[in-house]
Amino acid sequence: MSSLDTPPATPTRGLRERKKQQTRDTIARAALRLFAERGYDETTLADIAAAADVAPRTIFAYFDSKEDILFSDEGSLDELKRRLDERPAGTTTVDALREFVGCMKSPDEDERLRKKVIMASPALQMKMRARHVELEPMLAQSIARDLGTGPDDIRALLVAASMTAAFESVSERFFAAESGGEPITHEQSMAILDEVLEFLRGGLEAIQRD
């Protein structure tokens, strides 16, 4: 089908998409509250459906599993990839990352519940880390582009590993604060990341001059 054959957007289609997003949000919020109150393992999909006032089969139109519901905010990784892939000439990986970090909002109540649920389960913490595995090769590919080399360049891999470690360390510090550990605010988290990225920028520029 050509672009000329594509049906134009209509108010009805827009309303339909908004309703779908509202249903998705309702399911996710109901699930988070049940996870926090009853525990992740103790909550069933049937419980979530009842709390969200939807049929159990409706959940599978939006999510693949309980885990998918819990980590439904991970679309931010897709947004970061888009920013890295589409960054204009002259914009480095560090530039794109700093812009991305600058757009990250302070956690709302849903995000705080999500953190509480994850921190209560070592298994969920491991799954969260596993979901971050995609970040390092994504950054390595982007850094290699900065250096004008291939994605297997050891320098790009090492810098990407450092960036990933910084993100994970700050995230874990913030999660620990939510569960009663040493306090670190969202603003402090963003400031630390910005300092680390600026430090890594200097290292990348030094490599490019060699």
At residue 9, does pLDDT exceed 60? no
pLDDT band at 4 (very low <50, low <70, confident <90, very high): very low
Q: How confident is the model at residue 5 (pLDDT cuts 50, 70, 90)?
A: very low
pLDDT exceeds 70 at position 182: no
- Residue 151: pLDDT over 80: no
State the average pLDDT for the chain.
Answer: 82
Domains and CATH numbers, the chain: 3-65 (1.10.10.60), 71-209 (1.10.357.10)
* Mean local confidence (pLDDT), 162-190: 69
Q: Contact, 88 vs 7, CB < 8 A?
A: no
Q: What is the pLDDT of residues 91-114, one digit of tens each?
A: 889 888 888 877 776 667 788 788
Q: What is the pLDDT of residue 176?
A: 59
